[in-house]
Amino acid sequence: MSFILWICIIGFLVQPGKSQDEDLMDILLPYSSFARGPHFSHRHVRDCQPVKYGNVTHETTLPGAKNDSVPLIETKYFTTPNEISQGHVTFVQDPARHVSVLEPGKEGGCTAENDGNYTRATVAKSGERKKCLVAVNAGFFNTTTGDCYGNVVSDGKLAKDGKGIQNSHFGVKKNGELYFGYVTEEEVLSGDFDQLVAGVLWLVRNGEIYVNESEKAECADTQETGTLNTFINVLSARAAVGVDAMGRLVIAHVDGRTRSRGMTLHDFAQLLIDFGVVNAINLDGGGSMTYVSNGTVINYPSDYCSRDSKLYRCPRRVSTIVCVHDGGNTPVETTDAPNEATQTQSGMALLIVIYLVSCLINGL
């Protein structure tokens, strides 16, 4: 028994020494590696949705009146009902003034460099430009080149034209409305958006789970249905941006590792509804999942670190982010959130315990 236990310990400890090319990155893709998203017309999306929505393929909400008796930004730490995973949820008042979609690393990060590659940066690095109080990874991207997928509008500037690809979007219009759903290319080019970013799948619509309906609209083609269905039903780290009935922007995530722990999108959508969310879209998840507060990573990333790193798990360099900002003058209220110094140690300890228990069971 002791021999088996030592073999388990050695096997566990040598894993981080692998390179990131050896399946140490937690890749979660909604489509095949070479597919961007559905190329159907906007009319197809309209025709796929339930009759009760008519021709309307999006929902808009005017932010609620600012309440000075509560924090502008409030972040809470939670564990999932099965207590296997944990996450954070942030409520933001007056989002039209305090929320931006930022390109990776710099302005122009969604534009190709001379070598054909695109900028990728950690959420914390991209957030430095706006001194983000809270930031989360947002849009999907090509994991080889870094190309930003879908439409991207950052602070009124069109950074990426998605050429009409029909995935769910989150946006802030110039009149202050929060926008959730599907957008035509004409709307994107009209200049009506201050902020816009594409996700994959509309999770909650008018307070109801909308995953199945959006799956029909967002399949790249019939051959990709299985891929998207797996993306929906696999356990993984998840992220979403939404709005509650009070008109507050809601950013939420749950930690995990694909196929091991986390949440399916159906369960994640229900969790959002439990938080009071009435509309929400799904953002990039898996190993991309990074939640930053005042420049510090406060979640548990699922990618292994490189060989020369002193940490066990590291945040990935990703594409666009959703940033909550206020010039650095507004304190963020965080409840029971782990800090970056302890998350690596506690996360590793938990993984070691799980691994050893598994080994003991198999040894018996």
- What are the pLDDT digits (tens) for 275-306? 999 999 999 999 999 999 999 999 998 877 77
The residue ranking higher by pLDDT, 360 or 305, is 305
Pairwise CA distance, residues 340 & 297, whole Å: 6
Pairwise CA distance, residues 5 & 356, whole Å: 7
pLDDT value of residue 67: 87
pLDDT value of residue 81: 78
Pairwise CA distance, residues 101 & 173, whole Å: 12
Classify the phi-psi angles of 278: left when phi > 0, otherwise alpha if psi is within -120 to 50, otherwise beta. Answer: alpha
Give the percent of the chain with pLDDT over 90. 55
| Domain boundary assignment for the chain | 2-363
**Phi and psi at residue 248, in whole multiples of 5°?**
-85, 140
pLDDT value of residue 181: 97
pLDDT at position 11 over 50:
no
* Average pLDDT of every residue of the chain: 81
Q: Kindly report the pTM of this predicted structure.
A: 0.80
- Can you name the residues that pair with 335 across neighbouring β-strands? 76
Least confident piece of the model among 49-53, 227-231, 257-261, 263-267 = 49-53
Residues 6+ apart with CB under 8 A from 196: 101, 151, 152, 153, 169, 170, 171, 172, 179, 183, 188
Pairwise CA distance, residues 215 & 168, whole Å: 10
The residue ranking higher by pLDDT, 256 or 13, is 256
pLDDT at position 106 over 80:
yes
Pairwise CA distance, residues 64 & 67, whole Å: 9
